[in-house]
Amino acid sequence: MTHDLYNSKTTRHIEQTQVAAGAQLMVRAGLAAAQWVAARFPQETRVVVLVGPGNNGGDGLTVARHLKEGGYKVRVHYLGSSRAASAPTARALELWHRAGGTLDDSWDEHNDLVIDALFGIGLSRDVPETVANLFTRIETSGQKVIALDIPSGLDADTGAIRGKALHAHTTLTFIGDKPGLHTAEGQDYGGQVLVFNLDIPANAFPTGDLQLYQPDTLPPKLQRYQASHKGSYGTLGILGGAAGMAGAPLLAGRAALRLGAGKVRVGLLGSALAVDLVAPELMLTTARETLNQSHDVWLAGPGLGQSPEAIDLVAGLLGRQEPLVLDADGLNVLSSQPELARLCAERHVPAILTPHPAEAARLLACPTSQVQQDRLEAAQELAQRYQAVIVLKGSGTVVCDNKCVSINGSGNAALAAAGQGDILGGMIAALIAQGMSSLEAAKFGVFLHGAGADLWRQEFAAAIGLTASETIDYARKILNRLPTE
């Protein structure tokens, strides 16, 4: 289900407004988390709560107190000076001591469950080396970790790691969901994410800063009528396939056919094939012949290469006004040719650019590490610079234009395989051919691609060995299982 995500600034504003109105959010958060733990772990579970002086530590102390009062053996490992505790955390410390609790300075590895309440969403620096070493010890011990609000060391807004972070099995996040839990390193460190809104009324939440995109119905544009024909679902032209690279555009074309495009023509730069024996429905010609044909939407880049002819083909498409998806070498050509970048930015119909992080770095003329440090900012900068719809691929794919930003809520590590980008480009182009807007097609295509991999993983739990060809058919299953509105 698609839902809002809130950055740290917005979350703090909601929190401060509610506290000023008298809401005891720390009490609610601590009780909710304690009840969640008690419902899943028996009383003999040995629990240690990792606590710092900030408000996140106060949440942890409240959890510890409730669990102790419920009969659990609970230790609190407090890092930092109690004199530095925030006022709410100082109050939680007082209540913990009244309940007979103590603070432990040394780490005991003989525990079953670690509740991480050390750093919250306000972390603005790399974690100290001593804390990083503690994280390593915890992870080496194999203890299960439950994070409160955000895994310590993970940036709540970007999903980047601040030096070192603690892997959580489950994250119990409070007030609203956080972007950093769903992109970059967030999915690996956050584990299962559960949102507790702490009984804050719905009208107290502003519109989200962005969305986690997980549609549960078929878009109206894709609903089919009896009185239709192949022309009703668009004609797609694909340019690519330099010598030795014909497989890439063929994969894109097969994906486009299986996701509903009416007709697909593939123009190859290398020696043109007579037929694709796997998908004979594809029309195969040379790149120039395809460019001279009329198409409702274009995809350029799979296996395209960066030859002078490839540059000329991309330039020709950028000068036209049909919807255009640029992927792979189409992006590399764009990043190497300033004049093409200008043409892209001046298009009346914004292009869709689908870079992976290294391609995004080339488009922005910056290191790949800089892109990954703040994927949301990088995607939005690309959208502004190229006046385009951006699909920044990776863990938690970011889709945006100049107005709207979303993080895709599907997909898994099985997609780390050759050809997956090619079929994604074909899927997005096919959705545009069937009448979806560029932004919605990008969001929905990315979702279907990831959801197909999720469906496959139900059969192959280790996520090893998914091919792009297989993903196409699983994505088609997802598409046809979505109910109509």
CATH topology of domain 3-210: Rossmann fold (3.40.50)
pTM given for the model: 0.97
The annotation places the binding site for K(+) at 56, 116, 152
Query: Given this model, what pLDDT does residue 110 score?
Result: 83
CA-wise closest residue to 5 among 113, 122, 159, 112 = 159
Query: Given this model, what pLDDT does residue 208 score?
Result: 97
- Rounded to whole angstroms, the Cα distance separating 183 from 378 reads 13
Tens digit of each residue's pLDDT, the chain (485 residues): 999 999 999 999 999 999 999 999 999 999 999 999 999 999 999 999 999 999 999 999 999 999 999 999 999 999 987 778 999 999 999 999 999 999 998 887 889 999 999 999 989 899 999 999 999 999 999 899 999 999 999 999 999 999 999 999 999 999 999 999 999 999 999 999 999 999 999 999 999 999 999 999 999 999 999 999 999 999 999 999 999 999 999 999 999 999 999 999 999 999 878 899 999 999 999 999 999 999 999 999 999 999 999 999 999 999 999 999 999 999 999 999 999 999 999 999 999 999 999 999 999 999 999 999 999 999 999 999 999 999 999 999 999 999 999 999 999 999 999 999 999 999 999 999 999 999 999 999 999 999 999 999 999 999 999 999 999 999 999 999 999 97
Indicate the CATH number for domain 220-481: 3.40.1190.20
The annotation places the binding site for (6S)-NADPHX at 55-59, 120-126, 149, 248, 303, 356, 422
Letter for the amino acid at 134? L
Rounded to the nearest 5°, which phi and psi values hold at 37?
-65, -45
Q: Secondary structure of 256-300 in the HEC alphabet? A: HHHCCCCEEEEEECCCCCCCCCCCCCCEEEEHHHHHCCCCCEEEE
CA pseudo-torsion sign 441, 251, 452, 377? negative
Query: Given this model, what pLDDT does residue 48 score?
Result: 97
**CATH 3.40.50.10260 boundaries in the chain:** 3-210
The annotation places the binding site at 55-59, 116, 120-126, 149, 152, 248, 303, 356, 393-397, 421-422
The annotation places the binding site for AMP at 393-397, 421
SS3 content of the chain, % helix, strand, coil (to 5): 45, 15, 40
177, 214 Cβ separation under 8 angstroms: no
Question: H/E element holding 12?
Answer: helix 8-20
**CATH 3.40.1190.20 boundaries in the chain:** 220-481
Letter for the amino acid at 457? R
